[in-house]
Amino acid sequence: MEAIANSHYIRVMPFLLEGLKYTLLITIVGLIFGFILGAIFGLARLSNNKLIYGLATVYVEVVRGTPILAQILFIYFGLSDLLELNIDKITASIIAIAINAGAYIAEIVRGAVYSIDKGQNEAGRSIGLTKAQTMRYIIWPQAFRRMIPPLGNQFVISLKDTTLFSVIAVGEMLYMGQQYYGKTFAAFQALTMVCIMYLIITIPTSVYLRRVERRLDV
């Protein structure tokens, strides 16, 4: 028992649990803002206004067409230099997740709304609802049900993307694992536990999403 307790697989855990706090904080807060951005730009991509549609399309294509690592460095170093601001590492990480995930969520929103039968919109207008009211009370609730599985997948993707924040020394799980094996040289054990910690989060999430998908029949 003493050998197990003193093994690197156990001794690295306090480091990883400390990193887990930041991993979940960045992922959850980033995705909340990402969903807001995604909803706005996703609906904008359905607009008949060419300017609104064009701006939304530029945002989506630029973000999806550039690596998230480049976006992280641009936000943390580039914007700090341009605006002469000292952007906190955690704040920069949340902004990066929000902007990156927002572009992909915009396409999820656009696809979900577009998939709703056009007759639903016509039915809403026929009973006297405005276009906005039809979207709010008829289209959006149905579309949101269809968004749930891909939004869950985006959570898993963004969670794994947090490992990239180690390049700006954010204390997420991978960075904390690196700190541990930098002191102990137990790289195999530390990185094994990092992978296991991510699997502990992602596998139950994936299983739950499949159940939700079956229950919603989407």
Model pTM above 0.85: yes
Question: In the structure encoding, which two tokens stand for residue 191, read together?
Answer: 């990185």
- Read off the pLDDT of residues 53-70 as tens digits, 9 standing for 90 and up: 999 999 999 999 999 999
- Read off the pLDDT of residues 184-197 as tens digits, 9 standing for 90 and up: 999 999 999 999 99
How many CA atoms are closer than 13 Å to the CA of 52, on its beta-carbon side? 10
- Phi-psi group of 9: left, alpha or beta (phi > 0 → left; psi -120 to 50 → alpha; rest → beta): alpha
Question: In the structure encoding, which two tokens stand for residue 110, read together?
Answer: 């656009």
Hey, what domains does the chain have and what are their CATH numbers?
Answer: 2-216 (1.10.3720.10)
Query: Alpha-carbon distance 183 to 181, whole Å?
Result: 5
Distances (CA, A) of 53 to 47, 48, 113: 6, 7, 15
- Of 76, 101, 80, whose CA–CA distance to 89 is shortest? 76
Average pLDDT over residues 136-146: 88
